[in-house]
Amino acid sequence: MPPVAPEISVIVVNWNRRELLRACLQSLAAQEGVNFETVLVDNGSTDGSVEMAEREFASCPKLGLRVIVNSVNRGFCAANNQGIAAARGRYIALLNNDAEADPGWLAALRSAFDYGPDIGMAASKILVWEDPRRIDKAGHVIYPDGQNRGRGSGELDIGQYNRLEETLWPDGCAAMYKRAMLDEIGGFDEDFFAYGDDAELGLRGRIAGWRCLYVPGAVVRHHRGATLGLGSARRLELIERNRVLLAAKLFPWSLLWLNGVYYAARLGAGAWAAVRGKGEISHYPGIRGKLKAAAAILKGDLAALMMLPRMLRKRTSVRRFRKLSPRELRALILKNRISLRDLSQKAA
């Protein structure tokens, strides 16, 4: 008889993070109560990541490790799409290579889908690895200009997010998706490359009528900013570019026309927070750091402007699976809106 296909496929994308990857795979090897496989997609690492994974984990029967090796860094989106295409499970889980999951993580996420046939996504309780008393993300919220932020980011974990509840979408660092949803709406938009890609996928799923549950028992600890670094200009550029692309592709016109107004309000609040050493720009200290951040934001906006016609054309592709009306989508976004105060004063 052919081997039974795993119920869950876990996709881990890696690029030159051998030691973090080792800890990530060790945490997967300790998962309990689920039948799963692990698909490692390596984006052209040169630090021996692939060799380490094959040497130390290929023989672990619980992991069911398969490795896809790219010759270049294809980005988070393309690599995950490769993993999704190779996956055999009914449920697709993502785990960042810089994250470590508690032993009950996969089983807890899987349980979310028993709450209804329209549950298409499950979100983890992601804690900061360096200080696990603090929340990294407990689902997501969004500002009406397209900037999204982890719910509860930076807060002390005092039980305020210990309730199973609906959230906007999961963070791609540690998430689970129903395969049927991905088959319907498609995978990650590879034009995003990295950052904001999980927001685009999640909002697209919501537009198609799928819901997302936040599962407080699905706990992961995440090394924040390990990919490019919290003070990286490239990171800020991609975040800014992709929030524009997200809005252009998916937002209802009633919000899209107001994007510039919301954007100006966010920039003003962010500048005032930066003067007081708060907010995202606090990762860019000094006058030189502030100029670096401003240049990165401008570069991101210019890049988004160049890609705008392409994103606007993509709006038509959403029509084939749309379940939410523009009015319902606007209400969903505003219901899950992050306040301007929290967005400007708390660093991502």
Please list the rounded mean pLDDT of every run of 10 residues in the chain (348 residues): 81 96 98 97 96 96 96 94 97 98 98 98 97 96 94 95 97 97 97 92 98 98 69 87 96 95 89 69 71 89 95 94 97 95 73
Helices (H), the chain: 18-29, 49-57, 75-86, 105-111, 179-185, 197-207, 233-250, 253-256, 259-275, 286-314, 326-335, 340-345
DSSP calls for 224-280? TTTTT-TT-HHHHHHHHHHHHHHHHHHS-HHHHTTHHHHHHHHHHHHHHHHHTT-SG
All domains of the chain, ordered by start, with CATH? 8-222 (3.90.550.10), 233-320 (no CATH)
Q: What is the pLDDT of residues 162-214, one digit of tens each?
A: 999 999 999 999 999 999 999 999 999 999 988 899 999 999 999 999 999 99
Q: What is the pTM of this model?
A: 0.93
**What pLDDT score was predicted for residue 344?**
78
Rounded Cα gap, residues 258 and 145, in angstroms: 8
Q: What pLDDT is recorded for position 293?
A: 84
CA distance 173 to 170: 8
Nearest to 247 by CA among 133, 330, 164: 330
pLDDT attached to residue 1: 46
Residue-wise pLDDT tens digits, 90-131: 999 999 999 999 999 999 999 999 999 999 999 999 999 999
pLDDT of residue 280: 66
Spell out the residues 6+ positions from residue 328 whose beta carbon is closer than 8 angstroms to its own: none
b/e string for 253-289 if b means 16 or more Cβ within 10 A?
eebbeebeebbebbeebbeebbeeeebbbbbbeeeeb
Whole-Å CA distances, 255 to 150, 184, 259, 326, 330: 21, 26, 6, 10, 7
As a whole number of Å, the end-to-end CA separation of the chain is 50
Give the strand pairing for 8-14 and 99-101: unpaired
